[in-house]
Structure 1
Amino acid sequence: MNRDTQLQNLRPILIFEKQAETTLEKFQNDTLRPILKLQNDLLIQVFTKYCQQRKGLFFKLSDKDKLIYIDQNIRKDMKFKHYLEGIITGHFTLDEYQLFLNHEEELTKRMIHLLIQRLQSQLLLLTM
């Protein structure tokens, strides 16, 4: 079994009501979402450690401010953002990586947006 097959076999299967219409939507649904779900526990732990290293300010914020903090820190801390991107892109197959490179700007935006949504939706887990 080759690397690509092994990576795809690791991913959870997600069912969507509406079929993706564009190549980028298909990539988002077939690649990004399953990888984010697969890597969920690691992403939460990485974000929690990130917050702890910054004197735990995140844990003292209101829920509304925590949502803003998640968004702003992932978008503006380039070193951290690239680290998170690596956690995700490391699970791409070679073909997926090539497609990603061909549409890198748009797919990176989608990836970061989905990542922020995932962390924000699990706010309670992050404050435990």
Structure 2
Amino acid sequence: MYREQELPKLRPIITFEVEANGEVEKFQNEVLRPILKLQNDLLVQIFIQYCHQRKGGFFKLADKDKLLYIDQTIRKDMKFKHYLEGVIAGHFTLDEYLLFLGNEEELTKRMIHLLIQRLQSQLFLLTK
């Protein structure tokens, strides 16, 4: 019970001008986005470490190629993708997890899309 009450309190509050239409969009805005924001620094560091473990080729790429690398790495390296999904899903409450399972395919797509956007928008952090 403690987890159910305390996990949502850790998340930053994100406000939206337009109210979400539907359960999936509501979950995206009320659960996924705040968790991604909360976990941002960790997710950035995990990606940087991933790049270093692969001989640092990412850091030598042009910016537009780095954007593509981020996208393709997260979408195609299934082991890494599942690891990142776990870092995010580990912050779900039990009720949120059950809702996630009911819409897993769509919510996983949204989660990965938001994660890629978040990392791409912080390219300057990834190239330090």
Q: Same fold (TM over 0.5)?
A: yes
1:51 aligned residue: 51
Q: What is the distance in 2 between the residues matched to 1:71 and 1:110?
A: 13
- Equivalent positions of 1:1-128 (< 5 A) are 2-128=2-128
TM-score (norm 1): 0.99
Tell me by how many angstroms 1:120 deviates.
0.1
- Where does structure 1 lack aligned partners over 5 or more consecutive residues? none
SS in 2 for 1:20: coil
Amino acid of the structure 2 residue aligned with 1:19: E
Amino acid of the structure 1 residue aligned with 2:3: R
TM-score (norm 2): 0.99
Aligned residues: 128
SS in 2 for 1:67: helix
Q: What is the distance in 2 between the residues matched to 1:62 and 1:22?
A: 39
CA deviations 1:57-108 (Å, max 9, x no partner) are: 0000000000000000000000000000000000001110001001100000
Amino acid of the structure 2 residue aligned with 1:105: E
Amino acid of the structure 1 residue aligned with 2:37: K
Tell me by how many angstroms 1:2 deviates.
1.1
Tell me by how many angstroms 1:4 deviates.
1.2
Matched-pair identity in %: 75
Let me know the Cα RMSD of the aligned residues.
Answer: 0.7
